[in-house]
Chain A
């Protein structure tokens, strides 16, 4: 007895299912485009803000030199810095969320990350200058890491630092750099602090104290300002 196979039905269904499936992919690709554009805009804005901050620092420096400083200037400067870096943290949070669900244009996310390292370095330098002008503003932690495959402890170190930031908030500034990044400034920072790629995770606290993989309690022993506050 002949039993039919409906090839045309299967082909039609396959085409429709593929169209619906691709529709989702296309919508997703368009949304990725929006995300990248948003990130690029925000990073450009942050870059402009960091230039403005540079001017503020120069002005505060002038006030201090001419002994016309009062605590009010420092207060403004520190608050301005903290607001600015909080916005940078939010952008990075978005970047990580977008990248985790990206399907296309993954290289664009890598480029944005490189821009982020550049910008972060600028904020690190700015942060040191703010601290030197206005002492005891906050602690700084320079954190060198790399991907999980080459650094199994980096994930846990990241969790500890995340908790430090939650606990001490604006009393501690954490600057994280992937030591394998091709960005020149990252190489300069790691070389200057004598951190090798096989030595990650490494923490440099307040520019003086160097720690290997450390938990919250150990890190807190070196946070002068955070622990006082």
Chain B
């Protein structure tokens, strides 16, 4: 066997085994923690919550977001809203000011300093025991705030995340991202059971005010302040939970360019925080499963994905190269090539090792997709699950190539020490 074939074969087997291990691990966690978590009843003890909306050039979105927020089923005297305009250059501030005639909320204007500065500005004014961040392009389900509150069942829980869904699914890119969000939420539900959450996403992640203030508020955190805050909470041994029924709808990039820009920011920020600021947690037994298993996985995740896609790309390019080389050497005699093509079907020639393990992997993915949609309160029939599974495979085989390209840029920038600032992703 040629050296490159041997390297490819054993690398594929290694990646395959790692994927199997991870999928089975999460299935185990799922079955272990399948019983519903007791929730705090807030009917007799409703507590105040402040929603901070950092805003930058969102004149079209601020209105609908405020509408959804004030439409929430939550005692109006317990719900406070602060909009922080972070130096918008469009009409956002004026639109928000108009909405003050309709709703009661605080509106703060500041010079542009980045999202984290807007959050901290809002935090200064928070007097309630809980606060949440809400991106201005997010719409809350009317029970979301109430349902999130129920998850704060003990003092050690410092943050709770909602179920994020994609609001608009106009093209394949958005449909695939919608699937990805649902599956991520499902995974996070079980990740949170073993306290391994490493990011509290921007839209409606809710925090204990005193904890965040004690930790000093938000910092820039390589432009992923939500991820940095989650890691900081983990480093202080707080718990972060995933809500099972608090739903928020958010927008996701509709164009490939926007998608790449967003993911580049996420992944670069994630790697910088994990490998630089919080590297002391990697393989540190003091942090339990999070330190020994999960955070090393986060650190390696991008690299493994990149290797997998690089391998597939190499095989495809090699195959194309060999075909082109054949045609070039034979003076592009297509007629002879096509007329001599025969179908040589031999069932024994199939790679049965790959087929058997691939089939089992597909079954696990099928189960994962089905349960993921149930978790997101979207029941699917078998046909719907099959079509979503194929969407997942589309994500895996098409979008993964794009993600591999993004990961390549991430590693390149990490090595180069590039400190590029925010990339506008929408």
Residues of A that sit less than 8 Å from B by CB: 1-6, 9-10, 12-14, 16-17, 20-21, 23-25, 27-28, 31, 34-35, 38, 90, 93-94, 97-98, 100-103, 106, 148, 156, 159-160, 162-163, 166-167, 169, 215-216
Contact = CB atoms under 8 A, between A and B. Distances in A.
What are the 10 closest A-B residue pairs judged by CB atoms, nearest first? A3-B288, A28-B353, A24-B357, A166-B340, A1-B237, A163-B330, A24-B356, A31-B352, A17-B21, A24-B353
Contact of A101 (B237, B285, B351, B357): B351
B142 to A, nearest CB: 36
Contacts of A3: 195, 237, 286-291
B329 interface: yes
B17 A17 contact: yes
A162 B293 CA distance: 52
B260 interface: no
26 contacts: A3-B288, A3-B291, A4-B288, A5-B285, A5-B289, A5-B292, A5-B293, A6-B194, A9-B25, A10-B293, A13-B25, A17-B17, A17-B21, A24-B354, A25-B353, A28-B351, A28-B352, A90-B344, A94-B348, A94-B349, A101-B351, A102-B1, A103-B353, A159-B330, A160-B329, A216-B331
B28 interface: yes
A176 B330 CA distance: 20
B16 interface: yes
A102 B20 CA distance: 22
Contacts of B339: 166
Contacts of B94: none
B333 A167 contact: yes
Given A1-B237, A10-B293, A97 B353 contact: no
Contacts of B16: 21
A216 B330 contact: yes
A103 B10 CA distance: 10
A216 B332 CA distance: 12
A130 B16 CA distance: 53
B73 interface: no
A201 to B, nearest CB: 14
B71 to A, nearest CB: 39
A159 B349 contact: no
Interface in B287-304: 287-293
Contacts of B336: 163, 166-167
A148 B2 contact: yes
A23 B28 CA distance: 20
Interface residue range, chain B: 35 or more
A34 B20 contact: no
B103 interface: no
B32 interface: yes
Given A3-B289, A9-B25, A20 B352 contact: no
B320 to A, nearest CB: 15
A93 B156 CA distance: 66
Given A3-B290, A163-B326, 14 more contacts: A3-B291, A17-B21, A20-B20, A20-B357, A21-B16, A21-B20, A23-B360, A24-B353, A24-B356, A24-B360, A97-B349, A101-B349, A106-B1, A216-B329
Nearest to A29: B353
B346 to A, nearest CB: 6
A146 B1 CA distance: 14
A20 B217 CA distance: 47
A24 B292 CA distance: 29
B325 interface: yes
B25 A98 contact: no
A79 B32 CA distance: 69
Nearest to B3: A149
Nearest to A24: B357
B42 interface: no
A117 to B, nearest CB: 20
Contacts of A94: 346, 348-349
